[in-house]
Amino acid sequence: MLVGKTLDKRYEILECIGGGGMAEVYRAQDMLLDRPVAVKVLRSQFTGDDQFVRRFRHEAQAAARVSHPHIVNIYDVGKDGDVYYIVMEYIQGETLKEYIQRNKKLPVEEAVSIALQICEALDHAHQNNLIHCDIKPHNILMGKGGRVKVTDFGIARAVTSATLTQTGTIIGSVHYISPEQAKGGLASVHSDIYSLGVVLYEMLTGDVPFSGESPIAIALKHLQEEIVPPAQLNPDIPPMLEAVILKAVAKEPAKRYPAITSMMHDLEVVQGTLREGDTRRLAKGDFPTQILPPIGPTSKPVEQEPKPKKGRRGLWAAVLLLLLASFTVAFMVFGQFWSLEDVIVPDVAGQPVAVAQEKLLAAGLKVSIGYGYSANVPPNHVISQSPEAGSSVKQSRTINLTVSKGTEAILIPDLRGLQLRDAEIQLKNAGLALGKVDEQYTSDVPQGAVVNQNPRAASQGSKGMMVDVTVSKGPAPRKFVLPDFRGSTLASVRTQLDSLKLKLGNVQEEANDQFPAGVIIAQNPEAGSQVEEGGTINFTVSKGVGAGLKRASVRFQVPEGAKRQDVQIVITDSNGRRTVYDDAHKPGDVIDRTVEGTGTMRIQVYINGTLYKDQTV
């Protein structure tokens, strides 16, 4: 236990707050910057494995380049004696595992919200070519206000180098491990998607999909058994959300989501459905199973039982009655026709159908109504009449009116994914027109293709209607939260700036009695600011106390060995111990540096973590 000790005369270890098979996590105080931090320390049984330590340092440095609101920030990576440690942002709260155990099943809306925040973190990591490899509720921290933070980036890849039989290596993770990882294959973005699917399953059901007597038994279930559909354990899970989970935990990586952004999109659709009151979900009774006869051109009505034929006498009687009725009607009609006066047909075009009927009936005319579409005449108004207005007709003549049903309804086509020119052609073919064109950055839609449209696809529109679209401008310049570089040396920060694709701007020196020479005491923009790739960062660096300042020259040649060797120069003086140079070199490179310090200054050179040179000035 390290409680009560101070690492590198800076990080005071206060209490152990967690741990796993590979490392222990402590709450500590950064005495230089006077802030709480979390320090993750590699367990002692792994510090003797040079290959593992190298991978640990490499992955920790890779994790330091990831900066996102839903990812725990990495502040520092170091070694004090035989203690390898990573200094991280301290999050006051509990893990998602503890939150699930305390609340059992989480509400659907809350589980989807948490999963979306994890998706955002993984999307940022995947864009930086970093696979988490160990997504599980234990590595998700629940901060204030429901803010989710993903941790353990970097160490996860180092963990995969250990074998399955090592004690504690996969016990904490085997419930969430992907099939390809379980059988020793390489992890990919699909592995993170699988693990996130298991985490979402546990949030909604209160339990993991597979359990067993040993880690190997559970790993085999991931490879061989299908999960119990989550809706069987929690009927509140919507079918759409269950489909997302089942796709994420498919056994074969190719059958899962192709990217975390695709899963995030489906979860956003589910979230939108829930916010709309879930009106798009159908109850089981909405469409009960029925057996219906086929309906189509070949369908025939059920034949009626034939009635008995009437006698020939009855048939002749019916014919005579029909003829008599016809003569009577003809006489009455034609007699009346010749006796009626002529009338002029009123003009009722464009008038409401009720008003038109009233005018025609008042003129002694009859009315017949038909309907049609019109873009110019409002619904229930007369489009045209026949005979035309002003015609002279006999009283009781029928006037045929065509009444407007309004503009013809047109189904709005789905333009998403189409290039702008193709979308415009499709609109024209549908009788619609292209309206306002906006642009926005997006990473999952090709440049020039339609991202959104208004009105939305499959809604009803009218002929000639304008459809507004939003077109992709391609991926946006990456934005991220700027880390806090204060307390680090300028030499160590240069590498981090390169990995973040930032530029080193102006560097000013300032005398300071609290910070050793060469340590960054201020930065512009400030830590926590939103910056874009390619931005410039300016620094103010401490010159030390001034009095008693010493300078010494350090010159040596990198010895024979690996093609790439880590070289560090460490200074210990009256201001404490600090690393003033940290870079990689090939054998034969000559290092010539001037270092500064106060009082008695001890200069130590480490190559690949081993002391190579030690002198006191």
Q: Is 344 exposed, middle or buried (0-12, 13-18, 19+ CB in 10 A)?
A: exposed
Q: Which residues are catalytic?
A: 134
Mean pLDDT of 451-478: 88
Among 48-52, 222-226, 427-431, the range scoring the smallest mean pLDDT is 48-52
Candidates 65, 55, 57; CA nearest to 498 is: 65
Instruction: Return d(Cα 542, Cα 559) in angstroms, integer.
Output: 33
Candidates 613, 581, 609, 608; CA nearest to 596 is: 581
Instruction: Return d(Cα 523, Cα 1) in angstroms, integer.
Output: 35
Residue 303: pLDDT above 50?
no
* Host H or E run for residue 34: none
Residue 555: pLDDT above 90?
yes
SS3 content of the chain, % helix, strand, coil (to 5): 30, 30, 40
**Other CB atoms within 10 Å distance of the CB of residue 58:** 14
Q: Mind listing the pLDDT tens digit for each residue in 336-356? A: 444 468 899 999 999 999 899
Structure tokens given for 38: 């979390």
Higher pLDDT, 308 or 416: 416
At residue 168, the pLDDT reads 35
Enumerate residues 6+ apart whose C-beta is below 8 A from 233. 205, 206, 207
- Please report the domains of the chain, with CATH numbers, ordered by start residue: 6-89 (3.30.200.20), 94-275 (1.10.510.10), 343-406 (3.30.10.20), 409-472 (3.30.10.20), 547-617 (2.60.40.2560)
Instruction: Return d(Cα 524, Cα 538) in angstroms, integer.
Output: 5
Higher pLDDT, 600 or 334: 600
Dihedrals phi, psi of 103, to nearest 5 degrees: -105, -5
Q: Which residue has the tokens 């045929």?
A: 400
* pTM attached to this predicted model: 0.46
CA-angle at 615, arms to 610 and 617, nearest 5°: 145
CA-angle at 582, arms to 494 and 133, nearest 5°: 80
* Host H or E run for residue 579: strand 576-585
Enumerate residues 6+ apart whose C-beta is below 8 A from 30. 10, 11, 36, 37, 75, 87, 487
Residue 519: pLDDT above 80?
yes
Considering 245-249, 392-396, 410-414, 581-585, the range whose residues carry the highest mean pLDDT is: 245-249
Mean pLDDT computed over every residue of the chain = 82
Peptide bond into 525 cis (omega under 30): yes
Residue 56: pLDDT above 60?
yes
At residue 376, the pLDDT reads 86
Indicate the DSSP class of residue 587: T
Residue 226: pLDDT above 80?
yes
Higher pLDDT, 51 or 476: 476
List helix spans (H) across 160-252. 179-182, 189-205, 215-224, 230-233, 239-248
Q: Mind listing the pLDDT tens digit for each residue in 67-118? A: 888 998 888 888 898 898 989 889 888 899 999 999 989 999 999 999 999 9
Q: Mind listing the pLDDT tens digit for each residue in 259-292? A: 999 999 999 999 988 875 543 333 333 323 232 2
Candidates 218, 193, 219, 57; CA nearest to 133 is: 193
Among 2-11, 210-219, 560-569, the range scoring the smallest mean pLDDT is 210-219
Candidates 168, 165, 163, 188; CA nearest to 178 is: 188
Mean pLDDT of 542-571: 85
- Contact assessment for residue 403 and residue 383, using Cβ atoms and an 8 Å cutoff: yes
